[in-house]
């Protein structure tokens, strides 16, 4: 495709923000905003698969989001269950493996069941991994990894970055290269704190439901134009990239 940027992120992580404000601006309910946001997420998954982005992570429900009104939380779970039911065949067809970043135990039974079903049915898929960050908190994930290492009796000297990463929900996946946040908010909101240590960030004012293929292209073009130095000088990084 001629308009495809040269350097694609292997792992794109998105903070899908602004559903509520999108709805308010249109005189709609917050639920309508979340519904529209779900459609945007579906289209993004397919577009990323077409482009060849191997890992896509969507911030879908944070641990902090439990504090929202109960009605809204219920709407979000309903949308999630419906998404899983409607999209399973399409995920399998597109060879997309579904994965969850977060503890499933805290979810209502119906949600857990729907998640487990899609996890199982897409476990063999290899072309792309779709991670939904659900009941997710970066800090909680880091503490969980610490506890798991202690439980396994790992000696302090054996705790390396690789060993630690293997205890995170993203074990086995590359770190995000690009983190996109919509809706004009300039914060991380407890998202992939360990994994995004060297990610590139892209912020846009566009509300999540309006984040279409053109907006994705803009984000990818911005990413392709960045020089990732990883501590090197600009000249060194240029040579390393040759
Ligand atoms: C993102 O949109 C969806 C979730 C956090 C679940 P918001 O619901 O946060 O939308 P705003 O920030 O209120 O506009
Ligand atoms: C972050 O969005 C969480 C998700 C996108 C699921 P929020 O809208 O909840 O973030 P804050 O609380 O405004 O930082
Ligand atoms: Mg928000």
Q: How far, in Å, are 120, 145, 146, 198, 228 from residue 165 at the CA level?
A: 23, 8, 10, 14, 21
| Helices (H), ranges, the chain | 19-25, 30-51, 70-93, 109-121, 138-151, 161-165, 213-224, 234-241
Q: Which of 14, 15, 17 maximizes ligand 1 atoms within 8 Å of its Cβ, making it the mutation to test the pocket? A: 17
How do 128-136 and 55-62 pair as beta strands? parallel
Per-residue pLDDT of the chain in tens (242 residues, 90 and over written 9)? 444 446 999 999 999 999 999 999 999 999 999 999 999 999 999 999 999 999 999 999 999 999 999 999 999 999 999 999 999 999 999 999 999 999 999 999 999 999 999 999 999 999 999 999 999 999 999 999 999 999 999 999 999 999 999 999 999 999 999 999 999 999 999 999 999 999 999 999 999 999 999 999 999 999 999 999 999 999 999 999 87
With tokens 């704190």, the residue in question is: 193
For residue 205, the CA-to-ligand 3 centroid distance in Å is 12
Q: Where are the domains of the chain?
A: 11-141+175-241
The pLDDT of residue 1 is 42
Reported pTM:
0.97
- C-alpha distances out from residue 230 to 61, 96, 238, Å: 30, 30, 12
Ligand 1 centroid vs 66 CA: distance in angstroms? 12
Regarding the beta carbon of 133 and ligand 1, being less than 6 Å apart is answered no
Contact yes or no for 219/44 (Cβ under 8 A): no
Tens of pLDDT along 38-92? Answer: 999 999 999 999 999 999 999 999 999 999 999 999 999 999 999 999 999 999 9
Domain 11-141+175-241, CATH among 3.40.1180.10, 3.90.25.10, 1.10.630.10, 3.40.50.300: 3.40.1180.10
Q: What integer pLDDT is reported at residue 105 of this predicted model?
A: 95
Identify which ligand lies nearest to the alpha carbon of 13. 2
Look at ligand 2, atom 13, and give the residue with the nearest C-alpha: 189
Give the dihedral of Cα atoms 212, 216, 219, 225; nearest 10 deg: -140
Is any atom of ligand 2 closer than 6 Å to the C-beta of 95? no
Query: Does 59 sit in the ligand 2 pocket, CB within 6 Å?
Result: yes
Q: How far apart are CA 242 and CA 232, in angstroms?
A: 14
Mutate to test the pocket of ligand 1, among 24, 33, 39, 59 (most ligand atoms within 8 A of CB): 33
Say if ligand 1 is within 6 A of residue 76 CB.
yes
Beta-carbon contacts of 93 under 8 Å, excluding residues fewer than 6 positions away, are none
Helix/strand/coil percentages in the chain, nearest 5? 50, 15, 35
CA distance 65 to 79: 15
Q: How much is the pLDDT for 6? A: 64
């Amino acid at each position: 495709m001629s308009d495809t940027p040269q350097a694609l992120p292997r792992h794109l992580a998105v903070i899908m923000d602004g559903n509520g404000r999108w709805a308010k601006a249109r005189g709609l309910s917050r639920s309508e905003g979340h519904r529209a946001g779900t459609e945007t997420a579906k289209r993004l998954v397919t577009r990323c698969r077409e482009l060849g982005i191997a890992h896509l992570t969507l911030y879908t429900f944070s641990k902090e989001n439990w504090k929202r009104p109960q009605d809204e939380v219920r709407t979000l779970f309903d949308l999630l269950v419906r998404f899983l039911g409607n999209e399973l065949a399409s995920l399998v067809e597109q060879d997309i493996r579904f994965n969850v970043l977060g503890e499933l135990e805290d979810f209502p039974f119906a949600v857990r069941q729907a998640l487990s079903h899609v996890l199982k049915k897409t476990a063999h898929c290899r072309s792309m991994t779709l991670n939904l960050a659900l009941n997710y908190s970066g800090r909680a994930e880091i503490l969980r990894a610490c506890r798991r290492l202690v439980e396994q009796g790992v000696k302090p000297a054996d705790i390396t970055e690789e060993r630690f990463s293997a205890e995170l929900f993203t074990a086995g996946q590359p770190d995000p290269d690009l983190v996109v946040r919509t809706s004009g908010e300039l914060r991380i909101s407890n998202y992939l704190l360990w994994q995004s240590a060297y990610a590139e960030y892209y912020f846009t004012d566009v509300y999540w439901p309006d984040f279409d293929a053109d907006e994705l292209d803009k984000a990818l073009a911005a990413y392709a134009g960045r020089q990732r130095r990883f501590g090197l000088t600009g000249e060194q990084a240029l040579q390393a990239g040759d």
